[in-house]
A = this chain, B = another copy of it.
Amino acid sequence: MGIEVKIADEFWTPRIEKICREIIPYQYEVLNDTVPGIEHSHAIENFRIAAGDSDGKYQGMLFQDSDVAKWIEAAAWSLRLYPDREIEKKIDDLIDLMERAQREDGYLDTYYICTGLEKRFTNFSHGHELYCAGHLTEAAVAYALATGKEKMLHLMERYVGYLIEQIGPEEEKMHVFSGHPEIELALYKLYQYTNDIKYYDFMVYLITERGKQPSFLLREKNFGERYKDKWFDLRYHQAHTPVWEQTNAVGHCVRAMYLYSAMADIAKETNNHGMRETLQYLWDDVVTRKMYITGAIGSEAHGECFGTDYDLPNDRAYAETCASIGLIFWARRMLQLEKNSSYADVMELALYNGAISGISEEGKQYFYVNPLELRPEEAEERYDMQHVRVQREAWMGCACCPPNIARLMASLDQYISMWDDKDKKLYINLFIGGEILFDDGKAGLVIQSSYLKDGKVRLRYKGRRRKFSLCIRIPGWADSCTLSVNGKQIEEPGAEKGYVYLEREFQEQDYIDVKFSLRLRKVYANPRVSADAGKAALMRGPVVYCLEEADNGKNLSGISIGELTGVDEFIDNSLPGNAIAVSFDGCREQESMWDGRLYSYTRAPREGVRIKAIPYYLWGNRGTGEMKIWINEYLV
């Protein structure tokens, strides 16, 4: 028995509907170069050129194909929710175009087809061939799942079949892997869909080959010359040591997330204890030493990579939207390996903060980089912050993030719940309103959630009597919760690894009420995070709050807080989506005392002021200005 999840949630439904009905069609137009004023993507045009339908030269990043692939995947998931003949026709046309672009041998990468096939398989470190193949495969599986149409899947099976002929353990084949992991997790999806073991074997080969020493990457032309460059460092590719011996998260964050996700797929498939242990080391390294409070990762622009332990600068964070999305992918897979709320905590944190901060509320503007603090003048002037944008952009030359967030949001239903058929356990991981359906919709749980507003969730059973365990996640942020079944409170509902297990025979109209204590709280960072020492952040449930210049004036550094007093939580109509803003008592240094001086032996007197904070994911929706998550605590 499988489950199906339908979202009907006051926070998510409007967002998902906008993504599906408006943004996915809009992104197609962008990829098709028909939106005036937007940097031309050329991504679809490249397929036309490869197919011989169009003259002209390949343009864009050499992984431009992946934008089309991610868009198809997003659109596929979207079609399940909002059927749309026009979009489906566009996808089918794209698939026909791909068929024409595909070479006789099965090869399908427009960059190499258009610019010279002799270059294929010569640049695994940055060439992104297998990366694009992976995204196309993911799209093909998603489209088959969403519509039952398998034409794209067959194209991709041909392509992957060709790759398997070229690459593999046999002596005559190339012993290589992709610099940017992605095909590995895609192959797992293809294996799951087709049940064809050769895809799984190929995935395992690629992961095993990575990290074999001496790495074949060292022989690639770019590598030798610029070995000191982080972009060409084996650690950048997580290829510095055998994958199952890696215990520290290093290198390019998105690459790491996609690799670790695929490793988790293998660990699930094999149930190998050592593999799980490796993943646990990597997980702990990321979430206890290298993750921003927003669930963002990547503290350095150069190499888009992890920093050293506790190196988490706020203003020049890299914190790529795609890396938070990758962390969500990985967290879900870790949760599949072990039902432990801490994985869901991170998944939820990245979702409500680092991932959706990447898209404007209006939906058509995107952040690639998600800093945790912004002073626009510095960000615009400093060379070492040239990766930071002071406003979301309409599109990027490297447009990996926009379609990535679209496919995440269009498939968010896949992150809410997990069904363990063997033990008859239904896990609730995210508290998003809607329905979790069994038996082709004849039974299920109806979820009413005002989780983000007041921490309340009601789950109501519908359908014939059925015995199963309802396993409800207790979020790490909740310092208390009450749980009642049919109105009767459960005393000490004892959780195991952050899940409460309610085993019973459910019958129609049974309902469970959960209430997590949700309030604004100060959060502290480990003092080894020098950027945050002496400071506190504010969270309300899973949502990180930030100060903005729009509410608090310029110079947010002059603001400090003590104990949280006078807290007022209110629906702010000036914010998109009527989000909950908070205000509280704080202090501000009296700048007049400074009288233009730079240093003084006297600390400026502080005056009491009201401070207002808004959810971080909403920052930058009201013009350009300062923003700050970590607030100084004052000396009283």
Contact = CB atoms under 8 A, between A and B. Distances in A.
Interface-centre pick from A284, A308, A597 (highest chain B CB count, 10 A): A308
Interface stretch (A271-279, A526-534, A608-616): A526-534
Contact of A300 (B383, B524, B557): B383
A377 interface: yes
B600 A523 contact: yes
Nearest to A289: B598
A385 to B, nearest CB: 9
B291 A526 contact: no
Contacts of A309: 377
Contacts of A170: none
A10 interface: no
Nearest to A382: B300
B384 A302 contact: yes
A293 interface: yes
Contact of A303 (B230, B383, B537, B604): B383
Interface in A292-342: 293, 300-303, 307-309, 311, 315-316
Contacts of A526: 591, 594, 597-600
A300 B633 contact: no
A378 interface: yes
A540 to B, nearest CB: 12
Contacts of A536: 603
A435 B155 CA distance: 91
Contacts of A537: 599
B634 A594 contact: no
A601 to B, nearest CB: 6
Interface string A512-550: 000000000111111111100111110000000000000
Contact of A525 (B287, B528, B599): B599
B302 A632 contact: no
A15 to B, nearest CB: 26
Contact of A377 (B302, B311, B555): B311
Contact of A307 (B378, B556, B601): B378
Contacts of A302: 382-384
A479 interface: yes
Contacts of A490: none
Contact of A382 (B288, B307, B557, B636): B307
A523 B598 CA distance: 10
Interface residues of A, number: 64
A623 interface: no
Nearest to A603: B524
Contact of A528 (B230, B300, B555): B555
Contacts of A534: 534-535, 560, 632-634
Contacts of A560: 533-534
Interface in A181-224: none
A484 B536 CA distance: 52
Contacts of A527: 555, 557-558, 589, 591, 594, 604
Contacts of A479: 601
A270 interface: no
B555 A308 contact: no
Contacts of A632: 533-534
A528 B558 contact: yes
A534 B634 CA distance: 7
A440 interface: no
Interface in A572-597: 589, 591, 594, 596-597
A565 interface: no
Contact of A291 (B284, B598, B633, B636): B598
A134 B311 CA distance: 44
A225 interface: no
Contact of A524 (B315, B384, B601, B636): B601
A307 B375 CA distance: 13
A478 to B, nearest CB: 11
A534 B587 CA distance: 12
Contacts of A556: 530
14 contacts: A300-B384, A301-B384, A309-B377, A311-B375, A311-B381, A384-B384, A522-B601, A524-B600, A524-B601, A525-B598, A525-B599, A526-B600, A528-B558, A636-B636
Which 5 A/B pairs are nearest by Cβ-Cβ distance? A302-B383, A534-B632, A527-B558, A530-B557, A533-B557
Given A307-B378, A311-B377, A524-B600, 13 more contacts: A288-B598, A307-B382, A308-B378, A309-B377, A311-B382, A523-B600, A526-B594, A527-B594, A528-B558, A528-B591, A530-B556, A533-B560, A635-B635
